[in-house]
Amino acid sequence: MANAAQILAGSPAQIAMYDATNDTLFLGYLASDNFELTQKPLVHKDIEGMEYQYGVRSELTVELLETDPTKIAALATRRVLKQDIYIVGAQFLIKMHDVYVQHAQKRSYTPGDNSVIEITAKTDVEANVEVIKNLLSSVKDSVDYGNFDIDTNTDGLSDGWTELANPATSRNTPSFLGAGYGADQEYYTTGAADEGIYCDIICPLDQVPVKMTASIYMKYDANDDKDVYLAIKTKNSALTIRDTNTSTVKIITASSVRYSYTVEFTPSNSDIYKVSMYVYSLNTETCNALLDNAQLEFGKLTDYTEND
């Protein structure tokens, strides 16, 4: 029999699921030994006994201590709808897309008591399971917003990013970082306070401490010695900003510099649906900046790699 390969286990995390009908459901928190994600090869044996692999099955198993009967009832409602599952740990985000979720109670719920819930989900579509470090990159969605290489509608702003106020934006080639760092870079000009760009990423969070790092390479194209905000924000599903964490960086050189900002915070609300990375001007002076290789990660920052 083919063996299962353990993809991830042994790290504390929080878990949530989402579907368009019911919105986000936060299920709670997982101890280090209460969940695992494994992959098994799918094989077929021919008439001569030779085995051929034709796919991979990913399986998620979670054991959760649940004290809220409304959440247990909500799980039953969602069984007939495909879910997106989000598991957020100290150094990663696991996304499991488009899966049916099953659950069973190991102890029945009675008022004042606890229920141990086992949750399982599986998929034979490899691209539907991701262990993500840089939140701006998704293999399943075939995007890498951090490299600023794609502008599908040719509006001058790279895919995945949104203008804040009214900056002038365009994509330039080649990247100022040189070969191996993507084909393009983002160029933006700001002449007023709070002008810039931002990128929203679906990542449900509950009210527990998280540590995040935003990082980006920047250099000035003209008008150096300018202050720029590098920010991490959270939003609910209506895109109302819930938390704002900012750091001021000064673009002081025509050479490329990697600017990073790490913050540990507790989300102010329990309805966080998206986390966002912002780059925007601090004052009303003109600032022409080149941007490339953006990262938004949990915990310690890793070296930037292109999404293949």
What pLDDT is attached to residue 181? 65
Question: Mean of the pLDDT values across residues 38-44?
Answer: 88
Contacts of 60 (CB under 8 A, 6+ apart): 35, 36, 37, 85, 96, 119, 120, 121, 122
More confident: 273 or 254 = 273
Question: Mean of the pLDDT values across residues 73-92?
Answer: 90
What pLDDT is attached to residue 110? 55
- Shared domain for 156 and 259, answered yes or no, is yes
pLDDT tens digit sequence for 284-297: 878 888 899 999 99
Q: How far is CA 92 from the centre of its chain?
A: 8
Closest Cα to residue 8, out of 129, 143, 120? 129
What pLDDT is attached to residue 193? 87
- Shared domain for 100 and 190, answered yes or no, is no
- DSSP-derived pairing of the beta strands 35-45 and 5-9: antiparallel
Closest Cα to residue 136, out of 258, 308, 299, 307? 307
CATH number of the domain at 185, please.
2.60.120.260
Listing DSSP states for 249-281 in one string gives: EEE--SS-EEEEEEEEE--SSS-EEEEEEEEEE
What pLDDT is attached to residue 109? 52
To the nearest 10°, report the CA torsion of 197, 89, 125, 51: 140
The count of residues in the chain is: 308
Question: Mean of the pLDDT values across residues 201-205?
Answer: 92
Domain end position, chosen among 132, 162, 181: 132
- Shared domain for 127 and 155, answered yes or no, is no
List helix spans (H) across 11-148.
69-78
At which residue do the structure tokens 């649940």 appear?
66
Assess if residue 308 is contained within a domain. no
Number of folded domains that form the chain: 2
- Shared domain for 154 and 104, answered yes or no, is no
More confident: 159 or 250 = 159
Contacts of 128 (CB under 8 A, 6+ apart): 58, 96, 97, 98, 99, 140
CA distance 228 to 241: 20
Coil, strand, or helix at residue 297?
strand
Assess if residue 45 is contained within a domain. yes
What pLDDT is attached to residue 295? 93
Q: What is the DSSP letter of 71?
A: H
Domain end position, chosen among 132, 160, 191: 132
pLDDT tens digit sequence for 269-286: 888 999 999 999 888 878
What pLDDT is attached to residue 182? 66
Assess if residue 303 is contained within a domain. no
More confident: 30 or 11 = 30
Asked if residue 4 has pLDDT above 70, the reply is no
What pLDDT is attached to residue 297? 94
Highest mean pLDDT among 43-47, 86-90, 182-186, 228-232 belongs to: 228-232
What pLDDT is attached to residue 216? 93
Domain end position, chosen among 99, 132, 165: 132
287 near 189, Cβ under 8 Å? Answer: yes
Question: Mean of the pLDDT values across residues 92-119?
Answer: 79
Question: Mean of the pLDDT values across residues 3-21?
Answer: 68
3 near 20, Cβ under 8 Å? Answer: no
Assess if residue 307 is contained within a domain. no
- Shared domain for 242 and 255, answered yes or no, is yes
Assess if residue 304 is contained within a domain. no
Question: Mean of the pLDDT values across residues 105-126?
Answer: 76
- Shared domain for 105 and 153, answered yes or no, is no
Asked if residue 3 has pLDDT above 50, the reply is no
CATH number of the domain at 109, please.
2.30.110
Domain that holds residue 276: 137-298
Could you give the angle at the alpha carbon of 242 between the alpha carbons of 203 and 13, nearest 5°?
35
CA distance 137 to 306: 9
Average pLDDT over all residues of the chain: 84
CA distance 216 to 187: 13
Q: What is the DSSP letter of 72?
A: H
Listing DSSP states for 134-184 in one string gives: STTEETTTTEEGGG----TT-SSS-TTEEEESS-EEEEESS-TT-TTS-S-
- Shared domain for 74 and 160, answered yes or no, is no
Asked if residue 144 has pLDDT above 90, the reply is no
Q: How many CB atoms lie within 10 A of CB 258?
A: 14
Asked if residue 180 has pLDDT above 50, the reply is yes
What pLDDT is attached to residue 274? 94
13 near 35, Cβ under 8 Å? Answer: yes
Assess if residue 172 is contained within a domain. yes
Coil, strand, or helix at residue 88?
strand
More confident: 254 or 185 = 185
